[in-house]
Amino acid sequence: GHIWEGSVELPAGMHIQYKYVVRNNDGSVVRWQEGANVSLELPGGPADALALDVEDSWNKSKQVKRILATGTPVRFNIRFKVEFGQSLLVVGSCAVLGNWNVDNSVRLNWQEGHIWEGSVELPAGMHIQYKYVVRNNDGSVVRWQEGANVSLELPGGPADALALDVEDSWNKSKQVKRILATGTPVRFNIRFKVEFGQSLLVVGSCAVLGNWNVDNSVRLNWQEGHIWEGS
């Protein structure tokens, strides 16, 4: 347990340095990862062929890099208020979205203003359908998005040229799709135990990682079994 994960898009071919930081909920920094910065060379090839899974350790005794194939990056976001202790999921007609099984769906991350966001890699050129679901912390489903499924056509072009930002509304009155350029998808994960009420961040030498400013860093997210992930 105590695994923290998070995903970002970084410029292909770039050399970056980074560290992990423990922070309290009030924003105060508890602890920086000790010693020299961690280095990472990003692949220079097209992003539709390469992605990185980076497994780190706090004491820097290991850094395991796995090169992965990728599809089309898609970021879902929707404004919807739920009750305390509930979460919002997206579930749909492909394996990445759980094949309509809520237990295998994608849990979205809450942002200020009741905005829920989550990013996944979906097969380029695919037509998918999906819905949002409200769930309690015990796993019971509170509410499915009403009405017909939401449809999404994924671009058929190379993933190094196309990505989608999808802004939905609960009543389906709008679906805004923005096509974005992408870099190299990188997923950071590290095993480290923090105290209750603290979080783990990754901060580094490029804009996406905050240019060493903790306030602009990437917060890693917790999942079952002390696994944290996000985008």
Q: Hey, what are 224's tokens? A: 């079952």
State residue 1's pLDDT score.
63
State residue 129's pLDDT score.
94
Give the residues of the chain that fall short of pLDDT 50: 46-49, 158-161, 230-231
State residue 48's pLDDT score.
41
State residue 161's pLDDT score.
44
State residue 52's pLDDT score.
78
Inter-residue contact 166 to 73 (CB < 8 Å): no
Inter-residue contact 8 to 35 (CB < 8 Å): no
- Torsion sign across C-alpha atoms 77, 202, 69, 178: positive
- Tens-place pLDDT, residues 17-61: 999 999 999 999 999 999 999 999 887 654 444 577 888 999 887
Cβ-Cβ contacts under 8 Å for 34 (sequence gap 6 or more): 59
Spatial distance between the Cα atoms of 38 and 148, rounded to a whole number of angstroms: 47
State residue 45's pLDDT score.
52
31-65 burial code (b ≥16 CB/10 A, e <16): eebeeeebebebbeeebbebbbbbbbebeeeeeee
Spatial distance between the Cα atoms of 16 and 135, rounded to a whole number of angstroms: 38
Is residue 4 exposed (0-12), middle (13-18) or buried (19+ Cβ within 10 Å)?
buried
Look up the pTM and report it.
0.54
